[in-house]
């Protein structure tokens, strides 16, 4: 389910979700992922760990695809991050937030005509 296009010299990755993958497919997808997003890892141990996370994220993307069929889910630049790493490094809204009770409320606007 993966495809490379080099029409303009730019590497494209098609979706890899929705099917059962052979181990070689997973290696192939991981290679494409690393090339596309310029990923490299400091050690073989780290590489192997990131590959295991990548595989877990492919399974997760597949689950998301079933739960969210009108979108396309698959490989992104975050595919080698665990959900916790993703939350820690790429989100950033305070989890325990509450808006102040005295926050200004926007006036109600007319929405007809």
Partner 1 sequence: LPTDFDWRDHGAVAPVKNQGSCGSCWSFSTTGAMEGAHFLATGKLESLSEQQLVDCDHEVSVESDDLIVMVFSCKKFSGIVGFRIKCDPDEPGSCDSGCNGGLMNSALEYTLKAGGLMREQDYPYTGTDRGTCKFDKTKVVASVANFSVVSLDEDQIAANLVKNGPLAVAINAVFMQTYVGGVSCPYICSKRLDHGVLLVGYGSGAYAPIRLKEKPYWIIKNSWGETWGENGFYKICRGRNICGVDSMVSTVAAVHTTSQ
Q: Residues for the chain: how many in total?
A: 113
Positions in 5-44 near partner 1 (CB under 8 A)? 15, 37
Tell me which DSSP letter residue 23 carries: H
If one asks whether residue 93 binds partner 1 (CB under 8 A), the answer comes out as: yes
Tell me the HSE value of 99 on the side-chain side, using a 13 A CA sphere. 5
If one asks whether residue 69 binds partner 1 (CB under 8 A), the answer comes out as: yes
Q: Which stretch binds partner 1 (CB under 8 A): 1-9, 19-27, 41-49, 95-103?
A: 95-103
Least Å distance between CB 44 and partner 1? Answer: 23
Least Å distance between CB 74 and partner 1? Answer: 5
The SS3 assignment for 109 reads coil
Least Å distance between CB 55 and partner 1? Answer: 13
Q: What is the maximum span of the chain, computed from C-alpha positions, in angstroms?
A: 64
Q: Are 43 and 51 in contact (CB under 8 A)?
A: no
């Amino acid at each position: 389910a993966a495809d490379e296009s080099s029409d303009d010299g730019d590497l494209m990755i098609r979706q890899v979700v929705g099917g059962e993958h052979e181990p070689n497919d997973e290696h192939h997808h991981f290679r494409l992922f690393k090339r596309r997003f310029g990923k490299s890892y400091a050690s073989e141990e780290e590489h192997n760990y990131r590959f295991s996370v990548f595989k877990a994220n492919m399974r997760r993307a597949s689950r998301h695809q079933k739960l969210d069929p009108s979108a396309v889910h698959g490989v992104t630049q975050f595919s080698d991050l665990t959900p916790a790493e993703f939350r820690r490094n790429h989100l950033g809204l305070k989890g325990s937030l509450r808006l102040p009770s005295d926050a200004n409320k926007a006036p109600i606007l007319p929405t007809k005509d």
